[in-house]
Amino acid sequence: MKSHEGELVKEISKQLQAMVLELRAGFSRALLELNQIQLGDTELQTQLEETRHGCNKRALHLETLVLSLREELEDVRCHIRQICDDQVKPTPGCSGMKDVGSNVNGVADSNTGAVSPPLHSAGGALLVHCYLQGL
């Protein structure tokens, strides 16, 4: 019986060693896979930071452009108001009609001496809207 027990112990020992080898191999594969996942994660984090930095840079650039456009539009608005104010004020010695050669805010008609109507804010808003859609 003792030889049978010895053989049984040897068989159990072989099976345990095989199981240990299988567990070690599986654990090694899991560690390699974890390492690959960590490398991929690091790459993704780097890409994310680069993309975030690029987006922030573009956002600052767009903000600068918007502020610049706002300043330019304010200048244009002031200029248009100045032109409109100049047209509204009656000129001494005129009977409400502009001179034939005048084309301050429109195109002069050389045949009749009439001047096209002044620019209105709706036209300016349309131009701004079209410009902004182009951005």
Q: What is the pLDDT of residues 12-52, one digit of tens each?
A: 999 999 999 999 999 999 999 999 999 999 999 999 999 99
Domain boundaries, the chain: 2-90+115-134
* Token couple for 37: 């996942």
Rounded to 5°, the CA angle 21-25-27 comes to 115
Q: Supply the pTM of this predicted model.
A: 0.45
Q: What is the pLDDT of residues 55-108, one digit of tens each?
A: 999 999 999 999 999 999 999 999 999 998 888 776 565 454 444 444 444 444
Q: In this structure, are residues 116 and 107 in contact, taking their beta carbons and an 8 Å threshold?
A: yes
What is the three-state SS of 77-116?
A: HHHHHHHHHHHHCCCCCCCCCCCCCCCCCCCECCCCCCEC
